[in-house]
A and B are shown apart, each in its own frame.
Chain A
Amino acid sequence: MADCGEPDGPGNKDDITRSKNEGKELTKEEKQRLRKQKKHQKKQKERKNEKGPSETEKDKTPVSLLPPPQPVATQKAPSALPAPASAPIPVPASAPFHSSPAPSPADKPAKSKAELKAERRARQETDRAAKQPGSSSSGIKTKVPLSELNPVVKRLPEHVQVDDPAVVKRLAKKLERQQTLPYGASNKIPLRSDYGYKVSLFSHLHQYSRKAPLTQLLSIPSTVIHPSIVRLGLQYSQGIVAGSNARSVALLHAFKQVIRDYTTPPNEELSRDLVNKLKPYISFLNQCRPLSASMGNAIKYIKKEISNIPSQCKEEEAKTKLLTCIDRYIEEKIVLAAKAISKYAIEKISDGDVILVYGYSSLVNNILCEAFEKSRKFRVIVVDSRPRLEGREALRRLVQRGISCTYVLISALSYILPEVSKVFLGAHALLANGYVMSRVGTSQIALVARTYNVPVLVCCETYKFCERVQTDSFVSNELDDPDDLMVTRKGKTQLENWQDVSSLGLLNLVYDVTPPDFVDLVITDLGMIPCTSVPVVLRVKNLDQ
């Protein structure tokens, strides 16, 4: 019995030593080796060899079946056990590149000692089971000590690895591969090229220009990308649809249209084919503008719903089911959440308050308008910043309601803060270590408000909570068009020829992270929590799902 396990012996010993030496990191060669092994596995499965490959196959399955929240390729090991396809997949929100047909070895979980023991045990079981054909290896699962904690190794999203040429090449190949064109590929999803000189600290991020929209140079026929998605992508890249909630809602509506126009090709299952259909669309949108955390969560939800459709469901029924799911998601997570948050937030607004808001946050605007309708007496100070100047939009909407407002730029913050009694901020995402990711400038406002002892309240729906952690604004951010910083005053544009000067760079950041000690309270639809309770909410959400 032990002899049967021999062919894998040296390989597994390597595994053990490897994980001991390098902890949870896998080097390139190992990843390649794993890829080869899995390819080999697949081929042998198809040939339906029983003894030898069944061991390797079953050897791998316990590993891939370990703690349920694993990015598991559902196509692997279908013969072994019903793979937990419906398990929630907490891949980093900004990397919706899920299990593609090509094996992704970077998803391989870290091997802790317990898991290695489980593997060895599993191998022994399979050896025993192989002697009794037909016995399932379902016993293996129960013996594996399932830890509730997610393994650490996740794949880095592509958009923060721009300085690595291998990653860029891989992305280009992937975009090409995601075509289902029957006729030769003369059109493909464009790979956007960076624009202008990038500041060295940010060479790992993309920097696109807004002047040249993505689709000007190529025409994308509707067989490649659904036209509503193309329209959405252009709206994102030109900044017509901006703001976390707006982008998510627009995305969901576009996906509804896609689902309506979708027909299942013969010999395909809707639950699998539709997910594959969505992948090139998501890549395209990512090229137009990197996905936000809220969009990532929405996409995860849709994919889960689609894969949950039972195979015997008729197409029309399935489609209506999906459409209602999406509607319900929007209704629950965005609209009703906004109502709940307003209800909590209005308790915090008292008469005579002077409230400071920054930029344009749909949620904060909603809160202020509702508070005004409930006849609270307060006035608002809107702080704005170049180059986006989103505060003007907020100002217009508040003034239309009749709220008395003051307007300043962010450099006048120290002048205006002594008058302020509360600061309300919106968020783009709340990270798992309690940091608030929001429009650039938010951290500054929180800092100066803390100095003047003014309470800072952040309002955020729970669907924007994300599992990523970040401590500074450099590692993962978005670079906007650098030409936006130019300004013409008195007929003179100082930075007109900044491209010609080699030592001059312009930096237009979009997001920044605010440390939790600057934030006093986070108002969510689940209630009012401190910043540090974000991972608790995430855990509760995962258990619910």
Chain B
Amino acid sequence: MPGADKEADLTERIEAFLADLKRGGCGTGPIRGSGETARETTALLRKVTAQARWSSAGDLMEIIRKEGRRMTAAQPSETTVGNMVLRVLKIIREEYARSRGSSEETDQQESLHKLLTSGGLSDENFRQHYVHLKANVIEAINELLTELEGTTDNIAMQALEHIHSNEVIMTVGRSRTVEAFLKDAARKRKFHVIVAECAPFCQGHEMATNLSKASIETTVIADAAIFAVMSRVNKVIIGTQTVLANGGLRAVNGTHTVALAARHHSTPLIVCAPMFKLSPQFPNEEDTFHKFVSPHEVLPFTEGEILSKVNVHCPVFDYVPPELITLFISNIGGNAPSYIYRLMSELYHPEDHDL
């Protein structure tokens, strides 16, 4: 039966994706960037929408939630997966509301006004069947995919507004977004970039080689020299793994030191983060915030006898509080960290925050 084949194919693809996620996030840097992960997740969800058997929006949402839970469980630190699932759920809700013909609710959040006026209407059970829902949802997901493909370019287009000539810019580790941002600015302006190598993975080296190939004056420094050099830096531009709900960051380790040094010298800290990195999580969830990888990156096995008597830590992420950040540059423009909560309410529905 063609249906069964398609289903088997779908499960196979999902399994392959999960295995990839489990393997890929081993801390030596993602094998693929978060952009790719986001695109793959969305493509997979589109397939699920197209091929799974569902009759009403509620069913679809259940299926997507189930798949989403499996995917986030495979690699909890890869938050883009969860973010895309939430986006798709929000799309489904919107399409459903549009099919129902009810006016689009501009404010999905719970408000006192809503509670008092709408009364019992808030228990939508999404049970009604609409013929064109499937097509609409798939079309909306396609739009989402197009948006995802253009994020890096959208961010890079804003580069000239923020970088002037003869600037000294500091960055940490490797971020594809920041790389594109700087390369775009380098087409018209001359400036100098200092890259902190970000031990133990030393991804800064790759970033520096790529930037220097684009004829940008680059210098690689060790992590220990960040504060020493900061007094000559005009701007700090960094990428991040996740933007948290309070406007803080979960970024590669060493970023908090950079942020503190920048604040000490009153240097602006600019974060280039596309919208799909925005996550509804808050930073104080102790067991899920930090991720650790094999300590042999820090103290190799060749050190021998002392290994058994010493505790070695190798965390991957750092928390940067929103007070240290000056500006977020995303594909929809520049924002202050205090505005992040508002952007989040437009992207995700509050009821979906815990999958």
Contact = CB atoms under 8 A, between A and B. Distances in A.
Interface string B233-271: 000000000000000000001101100110010000000
B11 interface: no
Interface in A460-503: 472-474, 485-487, 489-490, 494-495, 498, 501, 503
B311 A385 contact: no
B199 A408 contact: no
A409 interface: yes
Interface string A426-459: 0000000000000111011001100100000000
Contacts of A411: 198-200, 223, 253-254, 257
Contacts of A83: none
B217 interface: yes
B-side interface size class: 35 or more
A293 interface: no
Interface stretch (A105-113, A150-158, A255-263, A399-407): A399-407
B169 to A, nearest CB: 14
Given A385-B199, A412-B253, A485-B197, A504 B224 contact: no
A323 B228 CA distance: 41
B318 interface: yes
Interface string B262-305: 00100000000000000000000000001000000011000100
Given A444-B227, A495-B220, A406 B310 contact: yes
A20 interface: no
A512 B197 CA distance: 18
A250 interface: no
Contacts of B206: 494
B209 A504 contact: yes
A474 B227 CA distance: 12
B310 A414 contact: no
A413 B313 CA distance: 11
A413 B257 CA distance: 8
A121 interface: no
A-side interface size class: 35 or more
Contacts of B208: 494-495, 504
Contacts of B33: none
A177 interface: no
Contacts of A199: 219
Residue of B199, B290, B315 most packed against chain A (CB within 10 A): B199
A443 B261 CA distance: 10
Contact of A392 (B209, B219, B299): B299
Contact of B312 (A408, A485, A494, A495): A408
B69 interface: no
A396 B302 CA distance: 13
Interface in B290-340: 290, 298-299, 303, 306, 309-315, 318-319
B7 to A, nearest CB: 38
B312 A407 contact: yes
B313 A415 contact: yes
B232 to A, nearest CB: 6
Contact of A399 (B231, B256, B290, B309): B309
Contacts of B212: 501, 503-504
Nearest to A384: B298
A506 B200 CA distance: 17
A190 to B, nearest CB: 29
B310 A504 contact: no
A506 B313 contact: no
B225 interface: yes
- Interface of chain B, main secondary structure: mixed
B216 interface: yes
Nearest to A408: B313
Contacts of A440: 222, 224-225, 228
B309 A409 contact: no
A489 B201 CA distance: 8
Given A407-B299, A413-B257, A448-B260, A387 B314 contact: no
A508 interface: yes
B344 interface: no
Contacts of A409: 199-200, 223, 298, 314
A385 B218 contact: no
Given A405-B311, A507-B225, A415 B215 contact: no
B221 A447 contact: no
Given A409-B200, A411-B198, A448-B257, A503 B226 contact: no
Contact of A443 (B197, B228, B312): B228
A399 B311 CA distance: 11
B164 interface: no
B6 interface: no
Contacts of B53: none
A512 B227 contact: yes
B309 A405 contact: yes
A349 to B, nearest CB: 20
A64 to B, nearest CB: 40
Contacts of A495: 205, 208-209, 220
Contacts of B318: 414-415
Contacts of A447: 227, 257, 260-261, 264
Given A408-B313, A485-B197, A504 B202 contact: no
B129 interface: no
B224 A473 contact: no
Contact of B260 (A201, A412, A451, A472): A451
B222 A405 contact: no
B187 interface: no
A297 B221 CA distance: 31
Contacts of B114: none
A395 B299 CA distance: 11
Contact of B303 (A392, A474, A501): A392
Nearest to B212: A504
B100 interface: no
Contacts of A486: 205
Contacts of B199: 385-386, 409-411
B315 A412 contact: yes
B213 interface: yes
A515 B226 CA distance: 15
Nearest to B295: A407
B219 to A, nearest CB: 5
Contacts of B227: 443-444, 447, 512
A485 B224 CA distance: 12
Contacts of B221: 507, 509
Contacts of B309: 399, 404-405
Interface in A166-205: 199, 201
B286 to A, nearest CB: 12
B222 A396 contact: no
A474 B232 contact: yes
A416 interface: yes
Nearest to B217: A503
B209 A501 contact: yes
Interface in A409-425: 409-416
Interface string A15-35: 000000000000000000000
Ordered nearest first, which 4 A-B pairs have the shortest CB separation?
A: A441-B224, A411-B254, A494-B205, A414-B256
9 contacts: A404-B309, A405-B309, A406-B313, A441-B222, A444-B226, A485-B220, A494-B205, A494-B209, A501-B212
Given A409-B199, A507-B219, 10 more contacts: A385-B223, A406-B312, A414-B253, A441-B224, A474-B231, A485-B197, A495-B205, A495-B208, A504-B212, A506-B220
